[in-house]
Amino acid sequence: MTPVTVPLWLFVLLVCLASVAVLERLILPSLRVVLRKRFRAVVEKVNQRLALKLKPFKLAKKKALEQLLVHDPEVLRLGEKYRKERDLSWREVEDLLAAYAREIVPTFSVYLYYRLGHAVAKRVVRGLYKVRVGFLDRQALSQIDPDDSVVFLMNHRSNLDYLLVAYLVSRHAAISYAVGEWARVWPLDTLIRRLGGYFVRRDTSDPLYRKVLERFVQLATDAGLTQGVFPEGKLTRDGCLQPPKLGLLSYLLKGFNPQGERDLVFVPVGLNYDRVLEDRTHALGLPVSVAGAGHMAGWALRWAWNAVRGRGHPLGYAAVNFGKPLSTRQLLAPVGDVRSLAPEAFRELVRKVGETLWQAVAAAVPATPLPVFCRALLKQPSGEPVAVARVHQALDAEVQRFQRLGVLVPELETGGLFHYARKVVVARGWVEEQGNTLHLRQEAIPLLRFYANSLAHHG
């Protein structure tokens, strides 16, 4: 036999092509089967310990959900009207729809959420704070039907709210958050999508975008997706609760069928902290700058280094209080099917329901030690030294009043709460202690108000 010789480059090319064929025809199909089995095993294992199970909608592929949105009949009808009004080609409208769907639809990863995300959230939250959890009606929470669609409504105090609630609720449900445009920066946007979050443009006037978002929210709710919504839409700047934005609520109510198989249950959640990481930026009106971000990053690195060496210390209490669940069927019982209401009547209904829900969130906001202490301190005459005994007496009255109102207050006795909070404000340089008197620093008053305002709605 005569040997056949080929150039080296051709031999290398043939080996590469053969490797690709083996990879594509043999290895990848087998790998997909193995990964699919493991994925199903993880989902089954997670669902065994969740009260609100992972629904197929949450586990669906991103591309499939995007196509579902783009070809939704309501979206297509508005798309045709949009095309005529703006004199666009249908291809241009399709490209817009595809871009909006791609922007909104998340890419949930059960591995990332429960294997990595939960562990990271737990370490960060428990490393930074002493976490306290309260329930205004634990029995009602435990009786939520697993097949119902659940929406957690929360006040927005800090960007850590996402981690705090996700960590506490992850044993019961996997929450998909409605996240503002602030988080659409790489790599944060990718991480949020992988954790099930979807992005919302809150101030857009584009009707086509709003329709795509509306249908995504409605389809997700119909499929039983557990969602988390911050109705304020942004972080509070003065510490007070902000008026809620009702756009997402209107989408939820507009698509709700009182005769359907699922109820829509709203769970009010109140959040509060002894230390909000963004407090100086918000209370003092400081602009978000590179220098500010660098200062924050430096503080975080120092804190992490101290924690590694065993010298880290919590920033105080972080408290979460879950209110009594509110059934949409019961809320809308006097009205019936909202889909038959005139536009003006529907808007008025959304306003009333939003007011009821927001009052429930406000009532659930807990009273952590530092905000209570700040309220007691600011009620004293300004510009003069304040007797320690007088502040202690004012704080005792505040605590008793909050307890009568049913507001969650940490388990410290009044004396312990007072000494703990006094130590914090002195350490942060807001107050000088001289003998039996406290001297407020004028430059610290905006920060004291920022924390005191978190409880202002309680009266």
Q: What is the pLDDT of residues 120-175, one digit of tens each?
A: 788 888 888 989 888 888 888 888 888 899 999 999 999 889 888 888 887 778 88
Q: Is 131 helix (H, G, I), strand (E, B) or coil?
A: strand
- The alpha carbon of residue 147 and the mean position of all alpha carbons in its chain are separated, in whole angstroms, by 22
Does residue 355 sit in the same domain as residue 387? no
Q: Is 135 helix (H, G, I), strand (E, B) or coil?
A: strand
Residue 391 falls within a domain, yes or no? yes
Contacts of 263 (CB under 8 A, 6+ apart): 145, 148, 149, 327, 328, 329
CA torsion through residues 164, 165, 171, 177, sign:
negative
**Which tokens go with 186?**
């790489």
Does residue 382 sit in the same domain as residue 423? yes
* Residue 388 parent element (H or E): helix 388-405
d(Cα 300, Cα 294) in Å, to the nearest integer? Answer: 10
* pLDDT above 70: percentage of residues in the chain: 85
List the one residue out of 302, 313, 319, 296 whose CA is nearest residue 135: 319
Max CA distance (Å), the chain? 109
d(Cα 329, Cα 320) in Å, to the nearest integer? Answer: 26
Q: Is 89 helix (H, G, I), strand (E, B) or coil?
A: coil
Domain end among 306, 330, 364: 364
Q: Is the peptide bond before 366 cis (omega within 30 degrees of 0)?
A: no
Confidence (pLDDT) at 354: 96
Q: Is 329 helix (H, G, I), strand (E, B) or coil?
A: helix
Domain end among 299, 332, 364: 364
Domain end among 344, 364, 384: 364
d(Cα 246, Cα 232) in Å, to the nearest integer? Answer: 9
Residue 150 falls within a domain, yes or no? yes
d(Cα 63, Cα 294) in Å, to the nearest integer? Answer: 38
Q: H helices of 309-380, where?
A: 328-331, 343-364, 369-378
**Which tokens go with 392?**
């202690």
Q: What is the DSSP string of 223-265?
A: TT--EEE-TT-S--SSSSPPPPP-HHHHHHHHT--TTSS--EE
Q: Identify whether the C-beta of residue 275 lies closer than 8 Å to the C-beta of residue 328.
A: no
Residue 212 falls within a domain, yes or no? yes
Residue 149 falls within a domain, yes or no? yes
d(Cα 441, Cα 432) in Å, to the nearest integer? Answer: 7
- Exposed e or buried b for every residue in 219-252, given b needs 16+ CB within 10 A? bbbbebbbbbbbbbbebbeebebbebbbbbbbbb
How many CB atoms sit inside 10 A of residue 139's CB? 8
CATH of the domain at 241: 3.40.1130.10
Does residue 358 sit in the same domain as residue 373? no
Region 90-110: what's the mean pLDDT?
91
Number of domains the chain is built from: 2
Q: Is 60 helix (H, G, I), strand (E, B) or coil?
A: coil
Does residue 86 sit in the same domain as residue 235? yes
Residue 57 falls within a domain, yes or no? no
Confidence (pLDDT) at 290: 46
State pLDDT tens for residues 49-81. 666 777 777 778 889 999 999 999 999 999 999
Query: Is 307 a residue whose pLDDT tops 80?
Result: no
Q: Which of 73-87, 249-263, 445-459 has the lowest mean pLDDT?
A: 249-263
CATH of the domain at 449: 1.10.10.10
Does residue 268 sit in the same domain as residue 404? no
Average pLDDT of the chain to the nearest whole number: 84
Residue 31 falls within a domain, yes or no? no
Does residue 94 sit in the same domain as residue 125? yes
List the one residue out of 386, 381, 379 whose CA is nearest residue 401: 379
DSSP structural state of residue 368:
-
Q: Identify whether the C-beta of residue 303 lies closer than 8 Å to the C-beta of residue 221.
A: no
Does residue 384 sit in the same domain as residue 354? no
Confidence (pLDDT) at 202: 78
Query: Is 272 a residue whose pLDDT tops 60?
Result: yes
Residue 168 falls within a domain, yes or no? yes
Does residue 401 sit in the same domain as residue 259? no
Q: Identify whether the C-beta of residue 35 lies closer than 8 Å to the C-beta of residue 71.
A: no
Residue 30 falls within a domain, yes or no? no
Region 380-391: what's the mean pLDDT?
85
Does residue 341 sit in the same domain as residue 226? yes
* pLDDT above 90: percentage of residues in the chain: 39
Confidence of residue 313 (pLDDT cuts 50, 70, 90): low
Does residue 395 sit in the same domain as residue 253? no
Does residue 376 sit in the same domain as residue 395? yes
Confidence (pLDDT) at 171: 74
Query: In which domain, by residue range, is 119 found?
Result: 66-277+315-364
Does residue 136 sit in the same domain as residue 249? yes
Q: What is the dihedral of CA 323, 324, 328, 332, to 10 degrees?
A: -110
d(Cα 61, Cα 191) in Å, to the nearest integer? Answer: 16
